[in-house]
Structure 1
Amino acid sequence: MKVTSAEFVISAVGPKQYPEDGLHEIALVGRSNVGKSSLLNKMMNRKGLARISSRPGKTQTLNYFRVNQMLYFVDFPGYGYAKVSKSIKEQWGKMIESYLKNRRELRFVIQLVDIRHAPSKDDIAMYDWCKQIGIPTVVVATKGDKIARGRWLQHMKVIRQSLQMRGDDSLIVFSSETGQGKDELWGEILRRLKAAGEGQEGSGVETTTPASTNQAE
């Protein structure tokens, strides 16, 4: 997709601060340091728009980024970072649970996992939570440039089995360094938005959907 505009809108701590323009929303979840900010910057073609913190767990809000006046990426706080206090984790949990269960504009979740490692207990719990609520999920295996391409299928199989991925949920290998998976992820996003009733006619966007690796085992 050709990104013509991308902007940070708001760091929200509750429903009263969420945008009210009715655009579709896509939530990004994952462990601290899994590469959410790097992925966002690569997807939006904007260096530094999503700030990459040197201190994991710093994000404590739902950060809204509007793209092409057609959708929002909603960046969640990173989970699984031990130095974040218990009280803050509880606040995050309540905020995230309320958003996932009640936000009508939410269309699906993009869950990031590190391709180099088997999904953690927190990764598995987040995926299971989304399934219990009934939210479609696209799993993105980040840092694909950190291992040899010939090992991707083996690592993807571990991710699928660990998460017990099901239904129409997709798995895409991504690298913020090389751009691997960027076009495929945009293609998946637009496909799902169209299925959710988002017509592309008149949107002024261009899409490129390369051969998919979603079904690789």
Structure 2
Amino acid sequence: MSQFQSAVFYTSVNDARDLPQHSGIEVAFAGRSNAGKSSVINTLTNRNRLAFVSKTPGRTQHINFFKLDAEQFLVDLPGYGYAKVPYSIREHWERLLSNYLQTRESLKGLVLIMDIRHPLKSLDIQMLDWFAPTGKAVHILLTKADKLSKQQANNTLKDVNSYIKNVYPRCSVQLFSSLTTTGVEDASDVINSWLRNN
């Protein structure tokens, strides 16, 4: 089912100085702490616990690297926007995220995870603003699409698409559900196209 089943945990980093050195390609996953980022990674790789899924948002506190074949990596970034995380930790995450997103040469594209019921929050916009100057591709997954009716989901998709195409021309968007596997093939195709175009 998945092109990413070979993914294995590679390393975990809490400081930009410790980012792994390699000659390959990275695709990063970012999103609010409760948007379903870990579930997306697990669904795409067809693995139950590759990325840790927690009922407590904010558990991903490091940059986690998962290695595919041929020097290709999926990168799980710390979830953002969870108020119960101490300010000092949030500040550290922001520095780590912005440094990685803005300066990482091996980073090919960003998969941005948004709960379809709460898309385009201020921190999502901030993430797009951080990343847009790099000129690299962004693909938004509107997760938990199964929580809305088909018409509601499609209307939200249309609204988000209308907003981003004017502001972030290098950005695309689709519906996604880990529960029903809606959009898994489309998301896999986008990521694979980034990995192939080295």
Q: Do the structures match in fold with TM over 0.5? A: yes
| C-alpha distance 4-160 of structure 1, shift in aligned 2 (>3 A) | closer
Q: CA–CA distance in 1 between the matches of 2:170 and 2:91?
A: 31
Amino acid at match of 2:63: L
| Structure 1 equivalent of residue 132 of structure 2 | 131
| Structure 2 equivalent of residue 73 of structure 1 | 74
- Higher helix proportion (structure 1 or 2): 2
Conserved? CA contact 1:25–1:106, under 8 Å: yes
Among the aligned pairs, what percent are the same residue?
Answer: 35
Q: CA–CA distance in 2 between the matches of 1:106 and 1:4?
A: 20
Q: Does residue 9 in structure 1 map to residue 10 in structure 2?
A: yes
State the secondary structure of the residue aligned to 1:58: coil
Shift of 1:56: 1.0
Shift of 1:14: 2.5
Conserved? CA contact 1:11–1:63, under 8 Å: yes
| C-alpha distance 120-4 of structure 1, shift in aligned 2 (>3 A) | closer
Query: Which structure 2 residues correspond to residues 37-76 of structure 1 after superposition, within 5 A?
Result: 37-76=38-77
- Per-residue CA deviations over 1:148-202 (Å, capped at 9, x if unaligned) read 122222101222345555324211111111111111111111223333x2xxxxx
State the secondary structure of the residue aligned to 2:82: coil
Shift of 1:132: 3.0
Aligned-residue RMSD, C-alpha: 1.8
After TM superposition, the structure 1 stretch with the greater mean CA deviation from structure 2, 7-16 or 72-81, is 7-16
Query: Which structure 2 residues correspond to residues 50-199 of structure 1 after superposition, within 5 A?
Result: 50-163=51-164, 164-195=166-197, 197=198
State the secondary structure of the residue aligned to 2:125: helix
State the secondary structure of the residue aligned to 1:48: coil
- The structure having more radius of gyration, on CA atoms, is 1
Which ranges in structure 2 are unaligned for 5 or more consecutive residues? none
Shift of 1:34: 0.4
Amino acid at match of 1:37: S
Which ranges in structure 1 are unaligned for 5 or more consecutive residues? 198-217
